[in-house]
Chain A
């Protein structure tokens, strides 16, 4: 599948600080980049996504930036809260099959109250 690298694998921040998670991908034709949040024992849920015709998208405390030249995209969470603690997965499509995206390795985020 698509080679999607995600860093860091674990991240601890103090409540109120910002958190940044980065993903790089290999398929230059990829054009859709979702971020999923998975709380312990629950399903992955889409929190934000970006398409390749924009460089940044923001939704309240969450933002995603995309650098197509460098083939990386990042999730930014500001003013972190304990309920932001979860595993976050990026994903990128495998365009030569056209059918599905592949997940990054995940980042376990802990927000310390």
Chain B
């Protein structure tokens, strides 16, 4: 199984809502990542988890809250988002959090904040 699975595929939420994005992999990877991608732009790194511990937070606003309950799961909790947070949110994983290893991407969650 070389898949990274993200749910939901699409999400529309109001600015006062609370929602969560989920990511799952069963490749035994110990590093997982959240990226944000706006249209016609490259993916921007948000968070890196290594062995279930947060190792990088790229100055992401606190309305985005990551969680890694175990080595296979990664969540992104959303609260009080702004319309400019609308984007494709990509999860990725790799064997370890070293920048010399291939990262596998999920298909993304397309988020619209209204």
Contacts and interface: CB of A to CB of B under 8 A. Distances in A.
Contacts of B58: 1
Interface residues of A, number: 27
B100 A94 contact: no
B50 A99 contact: yes
Contact of A46 (B56, B100, B102): B102
Contact of B90 (A44, A93, A98, A106): A44
A102 B103 CA distance: 12
Given A99-B56, A100-B56, A31 B45 contact: no
Contacts, number: 61
A42 B110 CA distance: 11
B40 A98 contact: no
B99 A99 contact: yes
A89 interface: yes
Interface in B68-114: 90, 97-108
Interface of B: 31, 33, 40-45, 48, 50, 55-56, 58, 90, 97-108
Interface of A: 1, 31-32, 34, 42-46, 49, 51, 87, 89, 93-95, 97-106, 108
